[in-house]
Structure formats: structure tokens, C-alpha cells
Amino acid sequence: MDNNSQEKLEQVEQKYNVRTDLAIEAREMVGEEDIEIKGVEVIVDNIKDIELSITKVNILDEHGSKALNKPIGSYVTMECDLMKQNAPEAHEEIVRELAKQLGELAKVDKDMTVLVVGLGNRDVTPDSLGPRAVSNVLVTRHLFQEFGEPEGDDGFNKVSAIIPGVMGQTGMETFEIIQGIVDKIKPSLVIAIDALASRRTTRVNSTIQIADTGVHPGSGVGNRRQGLTEESLGVPVIAIGVPTVVDAATIVNDTMEELLIEMKKQAKENAEVADMINSFNEQEKYQLIKEVLYPYIGNLFVTPKEIDAVIKRLSNIIASSLNIMLQPNLEFDEITKFLS
Amino acid sequence: MDNNSQEKLEQVEQKYNVRTDLAIEAREMVGEEDIEIKGVEVIVDNIKDIELSITKVNILDEHGSKALNKPIGSYVTMECDLMKQNAPEAHEEIVRELAKQLGELAKVDKDMTVLVVGLGNRDVTPDSLGPRAVSNVLVTRHLFQEFGEPEGDDGFNKVSAIIPGVMGQTGMETFEIIQGIVDKIKPSLVIAIDALASRRTTRVNSTIQIADTGVHPGSGVGNRRQGLTEESLGVPVIAIGVPTVVDAATIVNDTMEELLIEMKKQAKENAEVADMINSFNEQEKYQLIKEVLYPYIGNLFVTPKEIDAVIKRLSNIIASSLNIMLQPNLEFDEITKFLS
Amino acid sequence: MDNNSQEKLEQVEQKYNVRTDLAIEAREMVGEEDIEIKGVEVIVDNIKDIELSITKVNILDEHGSKALNKPIGSYVTMECDLMKQNAPEAHEEIVRELAKQLGELAKVDKDMTVLVVGLGNRDVTPDSLGPRAVSNVLVTRHLFQEFGEPEGDDGFNKVSAIIPGVMGQTGMETFEIIQGIVDKIKPSLVIAIDALASRRTTRVNSTIQIADTGVHPGSGVGNRRQGLTEESLGVPVIAIGVPTVVDAATIVNDTMEELLIEMKKQAKENAEVADMINSFNEQEKYQLIKEVLYPYIGNLFVTPKEIDAVIKRLSNIIASSLNIMLQPNLEFDEITKFLS
Amino acid sequence: MDNNSQEKLEQVEQKYNVRTDLAIEAREMVGEEDIEIKGVEVIVDNIKDIELSITKVNILDEHGSKALNKPIGSYVTMECDLMKQNAPEAHEEIVRELAKQLGELAKVDKDMTVLVVGLGNRDVTPDSLGPRAVSNVLVTRHLFQEFGEPEGDDGFNKVSAIIPGVMGQTGMETFEIIQGIVDKIKPSLVIAIDALASRRTTRVNSTIQIADTGVHPGSGVGNRRQGLTEESLGVPVIAIGVPTVVDAATIVNDTMEELLIEMKKQAKENAEVADMINSFNEQEKYQLIKEVLYPYIGNLFVTPKEIDAVIKRLSNIIASSLNIMLQPNLEFDEITKFLS
């Protein structure tokens, strides 16, 4: 096995063990909901009319971080099945709630310079969430440079935006591009939007996660190798992510798990069968995954067929929330004056 | 269970039984390669330097049609792993071979009017093969109307092309659109290009199937409900298809099959275990598939991450082959004169 | 001069004489606003807060038709400089007004089948208005076929949509494609959206014209040669057009006119100069246009640099108006139920 | 007149005086071809079979720089009418010649790190040349980082690429983005591809200019305000430009010039008329331009209707030339091995 395959094997193994981009899933994987984990705080809220649930997972210390395999910080997950549907009224409510949650997490004040980053590949539909959202974000930084600071008490945020592309298109790590730009324009905040992988098809396209911990290596549909974090960039990084795919290895692994569980149930009084099932080890499972997914092992994703319409809706929700959060002092008609 | 779910269940059941868009897979599913099937003729050829295999499956009569669950006709499958890779020299060879095979199947003469149809959704990357290929096909029909018939002995084909969109975009069956256009412009041949589903990830993006039997209901990534066939359109229909996805239900089903086979092997001397495995019926398997894929059952596909670059390559291969086949009497510089 | 050039010359001559896609401009070219033209009725209205003017030109008989070089029928022109700007609140008002005007002109009832056609080339920004608008129109016809007629008193319209492409892409006249589809699905109304040419840069991207007379040969950025009219299609055709370009020959011609007028003013007491200016004939002017625009004579357009953002706004305005007009009995949350 | 209008007036004045992005046009504007200009060297070559002319303008010193209003350096202009046409065989010859000229100008060696920059707005067809060309450039830098340096004598260039977007999309000057990335990845060469404005429609889409002087403020369809030069970036910058538009103010101005010249000819024996024409000053001309182009003064361009197909051809020519120049030691099948 060459190095490349070895690396891919490791990726797969990570994946079908505890790898998930969502803190809420990491929490679920650790154990039952009602058992407390040291260093992890979970607060759940609901908006009933649109069945929107908001789960805040605060990872408070190293212990919590280890337990959930996620950095210390706050993770807010909004779940609502109407997100992915053609439901303009529900979307308006989601937009306002997301803007509120983002505001609390990002601590956006006036007079900030913000760089919004659309991660992912605009040419692969489920990975195009970030680029599409960014193309609808109101950019204003150049207007200040052109027309000067606006007068009066009201503050304004200077918003800039970039769609860096993916490594296969640029030959550069996304991290290199963003760090170069951050060093040059010195924003006070970076907001990165990305398509994520989920463990469960139920969450696909109906979940938005925001976090104040940035984007970490191996996140996203495209598997970045270096993160965008306050540590690496020198400025706070808010990550906005939506799971738009499930890794194919996850689906395959879950299928086996479910099948084995089902068989155990049926075999409950037959010790021999149970033994055999239990003896079925990880290496054998991995061999099976490899056979089913060959030659694309580690490189296949599962996505719904109507993904184009859904990505359009989700990117509009995210862009609108950012516009509301970042331009709080402007009425719409004032915004107009600034734009050509 | 409501009607919609029932319908989807049926779709899934069709799928994880014998449903495949590829005649070569239908053939494989029926039995070992060396056992002859009545009414089915299989001819295999190879081009060694690029490891391109060409399999012609001729379904000769009703018996063969029933055995393979495909209409009577000729199906040519070209398989080559270099198709999906950045391999310009291999692509040139594939293009020439595909043009040759298409010419034999389509019996293209000079002075024909041909309508090329790009099926699928241009906004969903793995389904955009047809639209992208069509956008590179040389259309010439309008030039004849503008400048008149060219003089001399050489014949020319009048090529027109359409990208009809999918039902969710148009509110119409693709069949309705194409039949309307065919009735109006009366081509002597329709060529339809489509992204297909395969049973095996090995075939994804490395297989081109051409057939003289048209496009059938339920084919394609997007599951059309009515076919484009000589019977329905009144003119011969050549279908060009590339499997760009695997249905997620297929992957999940295959995983279970592999797992059960593996367990049987391990349990070979334990009759009880073997019995239990054998007793695991289709309904139980389907329940498991449903649990793993819920709520997207029947509506998820599996696709590789680099799909954008691959679709570009494949659509260029197909468009080039069509251009060579359809404009045989023109040198490139003559083509130029006709185009603005 | 070969045939092609001759044809182009004629196109240009048409253009820089009285050719305009806008009835309001045709009216202006005939004479002063306050002089009545037999067979032409003009009604002007204003919505003050957003400085939106609405001009209805009714061509009542053959005399009016000849005078304005337009078919008998109603033409409503909405002009508002905020259309092209980033002005969401003004856009909402424009959308509601346009929906109202469209409703009156189209006499849309419930239970109609409507085919919306997006004319133009999606790959040329100023010509992509129609395709982009159509991609945001709510299509519903297939839902009726899938789920049956909805119960209750409320009627619903069955909306289908098509983006046919342009002749250089399809080898077919747009008319041929649309007529084929109309014959097949038999809509009770066709609505065609198109990018137009204006005579004046002031009107570019700030004017919407709707008419009940359909689309006529030579209209649009791309110069179609056959129209889409009730006469040719057998069903009423509503045309929605926005001037997004000015023909370069028009700009050049207007420049000369302005220069000659200016010179006449300066030369007012010098009969000789005035004579010389007056003696400057059409053929000489056309020679100059040819020299300035060579080799693209008849084939160049003038468009503003920020055209991409503007086309996005205008196509959203048109799509929203159509959605409001075509689905009047549905609340947004009811629409949702019908869509996947 | 507010500041903004003043600025635009200045832009226009610059434009309709001596502003051109092409050195060959700057040379023409200075005087007759056969009169030598101090500090300027002009070498002309031809490739007869495809009527390709190659003009090298070397600006040798300050005197030459002032005379042509261009920085000291080498400018190579390739002109060929077949560029914009569907002429694959001519394109192959153009590609090879362009690769040769680029190689000489860029002094590309092996083992270089090159950053290719696609300037312009991908959503405005005539400005999308840079982005489209870059999307077809072979990027390899990441492969070296993944797989290590290749063995053997042959050197390889490490190519990276970026499509930075335009200021209205990013809120940042292109210069800021590129300087940030250059500081971070430290390439030994930057190659910037851009759509330019020409003074003459004859040159539109049939001219490629390459220069070793970088990209200068005010160049390009979109009017950048800061340049990309060796001075500003600290590494050599090769600029590749194609005029894809003519500024509308230029067309209008040229029309007046031609008209005035024509009138002078006709009035040759009438001193009074000649006097009046001569007295027609720049301010009056500018007023006329303003009237014809209002309200878009300084912000309109002229472009041919078939621009989408032409941009596709031109971007493919440029990308292919770069791939040949930057990967000289690789056979195509070796390239393949490095790419996934």
C-alpha cells in the first residue's frame, strides 16, 4: 500500500469512528443526552411555530474538549426541516434568529472590519454553499475608501469578502490565501462559510452550525489540511457551516452497524451467533467498506438529488443573516445610497 | 404509508433488485460471463495501449430482452479508467473510437438532420454531463437556412441541439418538450446524452454506453418518467450515457450483501448462524436501508469529490466524438467558413 | 458588397432610423408629446415616492400601428431609476405594481396553463435577463400531474417554463422550439421575457415594458428572425422586456445628430455652413458609422459595466411579479406543501 | 459637479485623449509608422499562412516612455483575425507562437514558482477572460507539497493560480489581495491575465498583448486603481491582455472626429466652415459625449454580440500557451501521473 492509500485509509478510519464536523453529533456520539459530561454545557431552545430547535454546546475546558474531540468554544446548532424546503416565511424567521445568534457569538460592534470567506468549490454543487452565500453578502469596505467615513453617531461595519477556491484549482492551501489577505487588510473578524459533512442524512441541509472556534483541518466537504482559526490568523474566526453531504464511508459503516444490531436482536438467545457478530472486527469492516467503495475509497459523498435548489435557499439564508448582522445601523434605503 | 412513500419504496425496491442503466451490468447480474443466454450476444474487444475495453451486447429477441430487462437492440460499452483522468492523449484515442462506434450504431449518412439532446440538470454537477456536452457540439442547421445548401458532391449534416432542463425546472416532462420539437423540425435522428446511475463505483465516470434503443423511463440520475425512443418520437434515437453516480440505496444494499456473504463464510460450519443469515429477508433489509437513508430514501446519490473536473473531461470527449461523426466531410478550416 | 453585408446594412439602417423595441420610444420619435396621433392613446401615471412612472400606450387601429411601426395592442412601460440600483424597498413596490399591470394585461384567471419563456443567451450577461428570470419562476404544472388537482374552491394556475437558448446554440429558430412545445402542451397563455435594445442610455436597465402583442421579429438583443405572437402560436402572448443595451450604431448615429444640431446652432447666421450640414446625407452618415464600427457593423452593443448585478436585480423583480400574479390564491405556506 | 462626476469626467478625458491599454495603439497615436521615435524600437514579424502579425514595441528609456505614455519595457502584440473565429488549426499555431513569445518575455526556467492571476469579473462576459483562462491553467504547486520533488534532471515549475474577483465583489483592491498572497507564497513570477479596452473595434478579440511591465492602474475593462507591477509586488509581473471591449466614450469621440474630418474635406474651399469646425473645442465635444451617454458616462462599454463564444476561444488559447510554457519538461502522459 502506497503512502497515498495509507493516508486515505486513515482518513476513512477517522471518519467512520468519531469524525464529524458537528458538535451536536460529537455530543451524541459520546453518550445519552441526559448524562452530563464534565466540561460540556448544553442548552436547548425551541421556536415552536416552525419547529426550529437551537442547541448551544459550550465546551468549557480541556476535559470537555477531549470528550467531544472539538476545541474549547461555543457551538450553536439550529435545526429546522423547513430550511431545505421552499418556505419563504419560515426562512424569514430563521434568518432573524440566525442573525441574532451570530451577533451574540461574533460580538459584532460598529466600526469593525470584517472579512467574509466562502470556502469550497463553486463548481461542485453541494460544496458551493460558501461561494454562493458570499456572492450575496453586501460588501462595503471599498465604499469607505472611496467616499470616506460616513458622518454622525451611527457606526458602520466595513465588510469585505473573498471566494478563495479549493486547492485543486489554486495549487495553494486555502489557509495560505486567507492568511496573506488577513495580513494585508487586517480585519478585526473573519467569518468563514463552509459546506460540512454530517454523520446522518436527517441533518443534511436542515442544520446550520455556527461556532467561535474557526474552521479546523479536515473539516468541510473538501477536506482542508490546515485550519482557519484565531491561533493561525491572529483574529477571531466565526465559522458558519451547513452539512450538505454525508461521507459515503459513513453511510456504509452505519449500514453495517445497523445490520449487526438487528442481527443481534434476532439472535438474542443464541450465544454462538452473538459471539460471531461480536467477533466481527474493525479491520474486517474496513475491508468491506473498501470493497463496496473501490476505487473511490475516502473520496465519495452522498447528496440529495434536489441539491441545487436547496443550496440556493441555504446560501440566501446565510447571506441575509450576515447582511442584517453586519449592517445593523442602516435602513435599507440608506444602504442604497452607498451602493452604485 | 402515504402514496408518495409507497411509490418511493417501489422505486427503491426496483433499484436494489435488478435496476441498472447499463446493459453490461444487467448482463453481469444474470449470471457468469461464460454461460450463454438465449437471445443475447456479447462481443468483447480491447485497445491495449490505453486499456480500453469495448463490450457489445446485442439483445436479439424477446427472450434476451426479458433476461436482461432491457429492450431489443445494440448496446456498446466502452470502459477505460483514463477517461476520468487528465490524460489528453488517451482521450484522443477514446474520442476516435467513440466516433467510430457511434457512426456504426447511428448509421449517420450525409444530408441528415440530427437533433442532439442534453438531458439532465445543468445546476447539479454529476447530472450536468448532457447539458455540458451539448454546449460543445457544433450546431449547423441554421447556417444552411441562412446561406443555403453548400455546393459540390460532399454532403453535410444539419445539426441542431437542445438542453431541455429537468421537470423541476420546466414543469414539463422532458419527453413532452422533445416530442414537440421533433414534430416541428422533423430530424432524421435524435441523439440523447445523459448521466446515468451505475451499480458499481468502479464504473463511475470511466464507462460510456451507447445504444440504439433510446432513453427509457426511470433512466438517468434524475429519474425521467417517460422515455425518448423511436416508438415514442417516430425517429431513431441513439442514447449516449455515462454513469456518474451510484444510487445510495444500491451502495447500502451492496454493503449488506457483502457483510452477509462474509459472515456466511465465517459461519460456514455453524448451521444455526447460516440459517439466521439466510432468514434475513428483503423486507428487513429494506427497513434497514430506510433507517440509514431517512428521510431521503430513494433520493440520494453517491458521487466522487472531483466530479466537476471529471464531468468537464467526459463531456468534451462526447462532444468531440459527435463533431467528428456528424461533420465527416468537412475539414476544420471548412467548418470555420460556415461559422461566424 | 455580399449578401450578408447587404443584410447587415439593412439592419443598421432600420436601426438608426426608427427601429426601437419600446413603444414609448416609438411614440417619442413620431413627434411632441402633446400632439395627438390618430389611433394612439397614451395614459400616464406616477407613483411618487419611488419616482416610478407608468405609461400605457394603446395602439387602437391600423393608423396608429403604422404611425408607431408597432402592432395594434397595449404597451405598458414602467420607468424607475431605482430598478437598477440596490434598493430592496423600492423593488418591492415595483414588484407589486408590475404584478398588477401584468394581471390586467394578461387577464390571468385561475385554472390556466401558462408557459413562461426565457429568451436570450444565458452566457452573454446583458442578454441573460430572460433565462435568469425564468430560473426563479415557480413552476407547478408537474405537481398537478403528480398529485392531482387540489381540492376546494380556490383555483390554481399550472405554470411551466422553458429556456430555449439562442439560434447559435441550438441551430433552430426560437420560434420553432416554442411552437413545438406549445403544440404539445397547449398552454392557454405564453409569457415571454426578453432583453431589449433601447435608443437611449437613460432607459437602459431602468425600464420594463409589458405588451399583449407578443415578441416580434428583430426584437431583443439577439435579433430573432421570427416572432412569438398569438398569430403564430395560436395562444395569447404577453411580452415582458427590459432594455439592457443600446445598439452601438444607434449611439454613433445619435452622436452625429447631436453634433450636427450643435453645429447648426453655432452656425445659425451662416447660411453656407447650414447648407453644408443639411447636405450631409444618410449614405455619408452610414459610411461613417461603418468606419467607426468596422468590422462589427450591426453586431455591437453598448452596455454598462455593472451589468451583472443589475441583471440579477431586474430578473428577480420580474420573477417575483410573475409568481405573485400566477399564484394569487396560494399563501406562501400552501405553496410550500406542493413543493419538494 | 460633485467629486464623483469630476473624477468620471477626468476618466473620460483621459480615455478619449491618449488612453489605451495597448502599446501598439499608443505607438500609432504618436505618429506615422515610419517616423522613428527616440527611445522606442518597433520590430514587426508575420506568420503568413494564418495572417498573424507580431509587433514587438520596446520602450527603451524615459523618453520613449513619455512619448508613448507607457512604462519602460517590452510589449509584444499578436494580431490575427482567426483568433476570434472557430478555427482550431489556426488556434494551434497561435498557441505555439504565444507560448514561444511568453517564454522569451518571462524567461521561465525550470524550478520556478509561478502565480497566475485571472483579473476581471467572471459574471460579466467580456470581462471574464482572465477568470476563464485561469480555470484552464494546470496548477501543480500543491502536488509538489503532497508528493515531494520529482526525481531526475528535469525541472518542473510549481504553478498556482487565483481568481481574486473585482472590487465590487470583494470590497478590496485586487492589488491588496494579490500582494497578500504574494507575500505569503513568495512566487518567483506573477502572470496576470486581463480583458482590456481598445481604441478600435478592429482590434477587439483579435489581439493579444503580452508585456513584462505588469498591469497598470486604470487598465482593464473594470478600471483597477492600483497596479500589479514588479515595483509594487517585488517580483516580475508578466501581463497578458486581450482587448474585448471598446470604451463607449471612445466610439462616440471617434465618430465626432470622423465626422469633423469628413466635413472639413467637403468644406475645403470654404474658409468659414473650416474655421467653425476648427473652433469646435474639446469642452463642447465632451458635452456632447455626456449627452449621448448620460447617465452612464465613463461607465459604458461596446462589445460584440457573440462575445461568449469568442471569450471561450481566447481563454483556451491563453491557457494552452501557459500550460505549454510552464510545463516544458513534461510529456502529456507524465503530467497525467501527477494529477488525480
In chain B, the residue whose alpha carbon lies closest to the alpha carbon of D136 is: B309
> In a structure prediction context, what are the per-residue pLDDT tens digits for chain B, which is 340 residues long?
344 444 544 444 444 444 578 888 888 877 777 778 899 999 999 999 999 999 999 999 999 999 888 899 999 999 999 999 878 778 889 999 999 999 999 988 778 899 999 999 999 999 999 999 999 898 989 887 776 666 554 567 899 999 999 998 999 999 999 999 999 999 999 999 999 988 888 899 999 999 999 998 777 776 667 889 999 999 999 999 999 999 888 888 888 888 888 888 877 777 777 777 777 777 788 788 888 888 887 788 999 988 988 999 999 999 989 988 998 765 544 433 333 3
Cell of B268: 460456514
A184 to D176: CB separation less than 8 angstroms, yes or no: yes
Q: Does residue A283 carry a pLDDT above 80?
A: no
Please compute the mean of the pLDDT values over residues C247-256 and round it to a whole number: 86
D87 to B306: CB separation less than 8 angstroms, yes or no: no
Q: In this complex, which chains have at least 3 CB pairs below 8 Å with chain A?
A: B, C, D
Interface of D with A (CB under 8 A): 135, 139-143, 158-165, 167-173, 176-177, 179-185, 340
Q: How far does the CA of residue D258 sit from the closest CA of chain A (Å)?
A: 34
Q: How far does the CA of residue B87 sit from the closest CA of chain D (Å)?
A: 5
Q: How far does the CA of residue B134 sit from the closest CA of chain C (Å)?
A: 9
Q: What percent of chain A is predicted at pLDDT more than 70?
A: 86
Dihedral Cα D104, D106, D110, D112, nearest 10 deg: 180
Rounded CA separation B53/B72 (Å): 22
Chain D CB contacts of C291 below 8 Å:
258
CB under 8 Å, gap of 24 or more: what pairs does C329-333 form? C329/C110, C329/C154, C329/C155, C329/C156, C330/C154, C330/C156, C332/A87, C332/A88, C332/A89, C333/A87, C333/A89, C333/A90
Residue C315: closest CA among D305, D123, B178, B173? D123
B267 to A276: CB separation less than 8 angstroms, yes or no: yes
pLDDT digits (tens, 9 = 90+) for A62-119: 999 998 888 999 999 999 999 998 787 788 899 999 999 999 999 887 788 999 999 9
Q: Which of D125, D272, D305 sits opposite C273 (nearest CB)?
A: D272
Structure confidence at residue B331 (pLDDT): 53
CB proximity list for C308: less than 8 A, separation 6 or greater: C125, D121, D123, D124
Round the CA-based radius of gyration of chain B to a whole number and report it: 22
**Strands D158-162 vs D113-118: parallel, antiparallel or unpaired:** parallel
Q: What percent of chain C is predicted at pLDDT more than 90?
A: 48
Cell of D217: 492602474
Chain B CB contacts of A201 below 8 Å:
292-296, 300
Please return the burial class of D209, using the count of CB atoms within 10 Å of its CB with bins 0-12, 13-18 and 19+. buried
Interface contacts (A, D; CB < 8 Å): 92
Q: Which of C248, C284, C299 sits opposite D251 (nearest CB)?
A: C248
In chain B, the residue whose alpha carbon lies closest to the alpha carbon of C113 is: B171
CB proximity list for B100: less than 8 A, separation 6 or greater: none
Interface contacts (C, D; CB < 8 Å): 140
Dihedral Cα A319, A320, A322, A326, nearest 10 deg: 130
Q: Which of B170, B182, B340 sits opposite C161 (nearest CB)?
A: B170
Residue A209: closest CA among A242, A246, A247? A242
A292 to B168: CB separation less than 8 angstroms, yes or no: no
In chain A, the residue whose alpha carbon lies closest to the alpha carbon of D187 is: A172
Q: How far does the CA of residue C128 sit from the closest CA of chain B (Å)?
A: 16
C299 to D284: CB separation less than 8 angstroms, yes or no: no
List, run by run, the mean pLDDT of 10-residue segments along chain D (340 residues): 46 47 84 81 93 95 91 96 86 91 88 94 94 92 75 72 95 95 97 92 94 85 79 96 91 86 78 76 79 82 89 92 82 39
Q: How far does the CA of residue A36 sit from the closest CA of chain C (Å)?
A: 39
Structure confidence at residue D331 (pLDDT): 53
In chain A, the residue whose alpha carbon lies closest to the alpha carbon of C138 is: A86
Chain B CB contacts of A274 below 8 Å:
none
Which band of pLDDT confidence, cut at 50, 70 and 90, is reported for residue C150? low
In chain D, the residue whose alpha carbon lies closest to the alpha carbon of A139 is: D171
DSSP state of B2: -
Q: φ and ψ at B160, to 5 degrees? A: -125, 165
Average pLDDT, chain A: 84
Structure confidence at residue C16 (pLDDT): 40
Q: Which of C170, C173, C185 sits opposite B161 (nearest CB)?
A: C170
A162 to D140: CB separation less than 8 angstroms, yes or no: no
Q: Do A20 and A197 touch, CB atoms closer than 8 A?
A: yes
C87 to A306: CB separation less than 8 angstroms, yes or no: no
Residue C196: closest CA among C250, C139, C115, C258? C250
A308 to B121: CB separation less than 8 angstroms, yes or no: yes
Q: Which of D85, D336, D339 sits opposite B336 (nearest CB)?
A: D85
Q: Does residue C152 carry a pLDDT above 60?
A: no
Q: Do D183 and A183 touch, CB atoms closer than 8 A?
A: yes
User: D156 has which bridge partners?
Assistant: none
Stretch among A176-190, C4-18, C24-38 having the lowest mean pLDDT: C4-18
Rounded CA separation D16/D293 (Å): 14
In chain C, the residue whose alpha carbon lies closest to the alpha carbon of A87 is: C336
Q: Which of A141, A183, A184 sits opposite D171 (nearest CB)?
A: A141
Which band of pLDDT confidence, cut at 50, 70 and 90, is reported for residue A329? low
Q: What is the 3-state secondary structure (H, E, C) of chain D?
A: CCHHHHHHHHHHHHHHCCCCCCHHHHHHHHCCCCCCCCCEEEEEEEEHHHCEEEEEEEECCHHHHHHHCCCCEEEEEEECHHHHCCCHHHHHHHHHHHHHHHHHHHCCCCCCEEEEEECCCCCCHHHCHHHHHHCCCCCCHHHHHHHCCCCCCCCCCEEEEECCCCHHHHCCCHHHHHHHHHHHHCCCEEEEEEEEEECCHHHCCCEEEEECCCECCCCCCCCCCCCECHHHHCCCEEEEEEEEEEEHHHHHHHHHHHHHHHHHHHCCCCHHHHHHHHHCCHHHHHHHHHHHHCCCCCCEEEEECCHHHHHHHHHHHHHHHHHHHHCCCCCHHHHHHHCC
Q: Which of B306, B332, B333 sits opposite D340 (nearest CB)?
A: B306
Round the CA-based radius of gyration of chain C to a whole number and report it: 22
Q: What is the 3-state secondary structure (H, E, C) of chain A?
A: CCHHHHHHHHHHHHHHCCCCCCHHHHHHHHCCCCCCCCCEEEEEEEEHHHCEEEEEEEECCHHHHHHHCCCCEEEEEEECHHHHCCCHHHHHHHHHHHHHHHHHHHCCCCCCEEEEEECCCCCCHHHCHHHHHHCCCCCCHHHHHHHCCCCCCCCCCEEEEECCCCHHHHCCCHHHHHHHHHHHHCCCEEEEEEEEEECCHHHCCCEEEEECCCECCCCCCCCCCCCECHHHHCCCEEEEEEEEEEEHHHHHHHHHHHHHHHHHHHCCCCHHHHHHHHHCCHHHHHHHHHHHHCCCCCCEEEEECCHHHHHHHHHHHHHHHHHHHHCCCCCHHHHHHHCC
C139 to B184: CB separation less than 8 angstroms, yes or no: no
Q: Does residue C172 carry a pLDDT above 80?
A: yes
Structure confidence at residue A335 (pLDDT): 38
By three-state DSSP, how is residue C77 classified?
strand
Q: How far does the CA of residue D211 sit from the closest CA of chain A (Å)?
A: 23
By three-state DSSP, how is residue B193 classified?
strand
Q: Do B175 and C181 touch, CB atoms closer than 8 A?
A: no
Q: How far does the CA of residue C183 sit from the closest CA of chain B (Å)?
A: 7
Stretch among A291-295, B313-317, C269-273 having the lowest mean pLDDT: C269-273
Q: In this complex, which chains have at least 3 CB pairs below 8 Å with chain C?
A: A, B, D
* Residue the block writes with cell 451490468: B25
In chain A, the residue whose alpha carbon lies closest to the alpha carbon of B273 is: A273
Interface contacts (B, C; CB < 8 Å): 92
Where does residue A31 fall: left (phi above 0), alpha (psi -120 to 50 degrees), or beta otherwise? Answer: left
Q: Which of C85, C306, C332 sits opposite A88 (nearest CB)?
A: C332
Structure confidence at residue A291 (pLDDT): 83
Interface of B with D (CB under 8 A): 82, 85-90, 306, 332-333, 335-336, 339-340
C170 to B140: CB separation less than 8 angstroms, yes or no: no
Full DSSP string of B202-271: GGTTSEEEEESS-B-TT-TTTT-SS-B-HHHHSS-EEEEEEEEEEEHHHHHHHHHHHHHHHHHHHTTT-H
Q: Which of B165, B171, B180 sits opposite C180 (nearest CB)?
A: B180
Q: What percent of chain B is predicted at pLDDT more than 70?
A: 87
User: A243 has which bridge partners?
Assistant: A196
Structure confidence at residue A219 (pLDDT): 72
Q: Which of C141, C170, C340 sits opposite B172 (nearest CB)?
A: C141
Round the CA-based radius of gyration of chain D to a whole number and report it: 22
Interface contacts (A, C; CB < 8 Å): 32
Q: Do C104 and C82 touch, CB atoms closer than 8 A?
A: no
Torsion over CA: A213, A217, A223, A228 (sign) = positive
